[in-house]
Amino acid sequence: MDKPIARYIDAAILHPELEQTQAREAIKQVIGYGCRTVCVRPCDIEQAVELCRGTKTGICTVLGFPHGCGMSRVKGFEANACLEAGADELDMVVNYGYIRSGEWDLVEADITAVTGVAGPRGALVKVILETSQLTPEQIARATQCAIDARADYVKTSTGFAGGGATIEAVQAMLDSARGRIKVKASGGIRDFAQAKAYLDLGVARLGAGYTSLAAICEGNPVPGRGGY
């Protein structure tokens, strides 16, 4: 770990029930920790742009979240709208039903619908595989699809599908990536020891809920909250 742990973290503020004032305060908290990005709901991009201006925290948002089963062309439209609103990075949920079906051309096309929009604009794309729903073989093949579609990262989980990052899933992604794409571990990372274990394994980015930042960055107790 060659920099403060906060600089590896995309801090997620994604619970659908959050009020606007709650989201705003959470964004301020993330900025205070100096996280790499704040990962917000698309409806919160504009206030994130306002709050993050002049700070070292960038703006990430999610596409096709949390199920990934919308039309690929809609994901492309959503990507364009989010980038126009001010997002720097896009975390898309790939259609993991396609992955489970072995429909690899459709998987790659789903990702390309987003990278084709984001790439020319210099925006990073992270592909959420939802690894808790996949076999190691499916994880490996989906990682290759993300490479072929010119994504920047593969990411483990949304945190909303009953399972998060595991050492086994992350290792399968790293083994398949072989340095050709970066890996982001997310879902269920709620303290410093967990976060550092994934960094030591070789991931380039961490996804963590904003309510876990004190535990990860300061070693304070984790609040009792489910989800991301």
Q: Which residues are catalytic?
A: 91, 155, 184
Nearest partner of 118 among 147, 154, 144, 81, judged by Cα: 81
- Token couple for 131: 């690894």
| Residue 91, beta-bridge partner list | 62, 126
Distance CA 67, CA 20 (A): 23
| Residue 12, beta-bridge partner list | 39, 209
DSSP three-state, residue 191: coil
Distance CA 77, CA 70 (A): 11
Q: Which residue has the tokens 């489910």?
A: 226
7 with 35: CB under 8 angstroms? yes
Nearest partner of 134 among 109, 111, 101, 183, judged by Cα: 101
Q: Residue 154 corresponds to which amino acid? A: V
Number of Cβ within a 10 Å radius of residue 43: 13
